[in-house]
A = this chain, B = another copy of it.
Amino acid sequence: MKLKAKIFNWLAGRPVVVINQKTAEKLNVHVDERILLSSDGKKIHAVVDIFEKIVKNNEIGLSHEVNSYLKLKNNSKVEIIASELNPAGKIIKKKIEGKPLSKKELQIVISEIVQNKLTEPEIAYFVAAEKLRGMSLQEVINLIKAMVKSGNKLKFKQKIIADKHSIGGIAGNRTTPIVVSICAAAGLILPKTSSRAITSAAGTADVIETIANVEFPAKKLQKIVNKIGACLVWGGALGLAPSDDKIIQVEHILNLDIEPQLLASIMSKKIASSSNHIIIDIPYGKSAKVETKKRAKKLGRKFKQLARHFKLKLKIIYTDGKQPIGKGIGPVLEMIDVLNVLKNDPHAPQDLRKKSLYLASELMKLCNIKNSRKKAKEILESGKAYEKFKEIINTQNNAEDFDKRISKLKPAKFKKIIKAKKTGEIAEIDNRKINTLCNVLGTPETKTAGVYLHNNIGKIKKHEPLITLYSESESKLKDGLKYYRQYNPILIR
């Protein structure tokens, strides 16, 4: 049956169409059922809403998520197929029941996610099954292959392509822009793609986006890297392993971290971007993603197994994750920290500076650069890393306005300084609670929101400032304060 498409400027968060009751009866579909739309060889599933006011008989209103794929003009015809068997649903159910999935089955699930054919609860079931049933090494390898296959690949002429990755979980910890700037200044090729926040206040892509464009098509990105040796972009826009962002969105609903998905997400992006010399930072600590060094090593071994299978040179760096790294947490606040380190500002957070230098020198060593420790320090202190960073940002913006952009960086307008209630020792700064606090304040969507940590673990005097909360919304600031008082992310003894 053909219907007349009405293109609405309607962001629904998932593929939805609206029809009126009469059209629904003709199609024999009901609210919340799915229909398959087809036009010009492209097919997409969408959930049905009934909405009398905005569509007439034989019309169908398309949400942005539907038409960004079909690209129909207003009033053009679209073919409706009332129902279709859903093979991915059966496969997900199989995994929930504890049976391992084959290469073919994982390909179907990933491809349907990429094509927007699965609804959020279906993806939630898949994610929960991955977490609770676990996945074998072979399943993770097949998941990685399916994810790589479903998207684009970057290609470079050079033999050594370097990459640095942190598994996340530590608030702040924005080492990537610094490491990439140092290593690129040392001559390495780093097509660095990052994700947006999962359970943290910000991902590297969220942070870079405060001053630069991070969304590029694959071809444009290859040009940038060929020209200046590096980039700092969002992986999602490149279409590398594109199922990832949809899955992350559903994981985010409960702030879940799923190990097989973590492994597959990281490795598929490295493979799709042709990286072959990789260091992975696994921080461990009570409030980190990984609680103990033992568990960190267990996870590290899995990365190494995968690297062996895919023939990649990979080194795991186990780092201290018992507190946040850096002072600002949240996209803009973290960018300010990064700039202070790159500018060798004496007020720059020293923990962030030290860790970035360490990771940069380890990556340089992995890529056969001699005296890497000394060289990394020299590149940072001489300002060469800062210049490289400026070059990356200006190139991504296709403009020479770096100074103007960074001069505009300012945290959110509503703020609240919380002071120490007693003299003593800061015994603990909980990464998870700090991240959740930032989410309550509006991160990562609101780039200017977040917190500023005035002190690390160590001595503190009564009435000294502990933390400043920032939000663009008074009600979110109030919620943040409520959260702070209830959960006490900073423990003073």
Contact = CB atoms under 8 A, between A and B. Distances in A.
A28 B85 contact: no
Interface in A107-129: 119-125, 128-129
A132 B128 contact: yes
Contacts of A125: 124, 128, 253-254, 256
A39 to B, nearest CB: 17
A402 interface: no
Contacts of A256: 93, 96, 125
B89 A253 contact: yes
A47 B14 CA distance: 12
B132 A52 contact: no
B10 A92 contact: no
Contacts of A122: 124, 253-254
A14 B13 CA distance: 13
Interface stretch (A150-158, A268-276, A278-286, A474-482): A474-482
Interface in A23-82: 27-28, 30-33, 47, 49-54, 63, 81-82
A255 interface: yes
Contacts of A124: 120-122, 124-125, 128
Residue from the set A11, A16, A93 with the largest chain B CB neighbour count within 10 Å: A11
Interface string A83-96: 11100010011001
A47 B63 CA distance: 15
A85 B481 CA distance: 12
Interface in A244-293: 249-250, 253-256
Contact of A476 (B83, B131, B479): B83
15 contacts: A9-B51, A9-B53, A10-B51, A12-B51, A13-B31, A28-B473, A28-B476, A53-B54, A54-B54, A82-B475, A82-B476, A92-B254, A93-B255, A96-B256, A120-B120
Interface of A: 8-14, 16, 18, 27-28, 30-33, 47, 49-54, 63, 81-85, 89, 92-93, 96, 119-125, 128-129, 131-133, 249-250, 253-256, 440, 442, 445-446, 472-473, 475-476, 479, 482-483
Given A122-B253, A129-B132, 8 more contacts: A12-B31, A14-B32, A28-B446, A85-B482, A96-B256, A120-B120, A122-B124, A128-B128
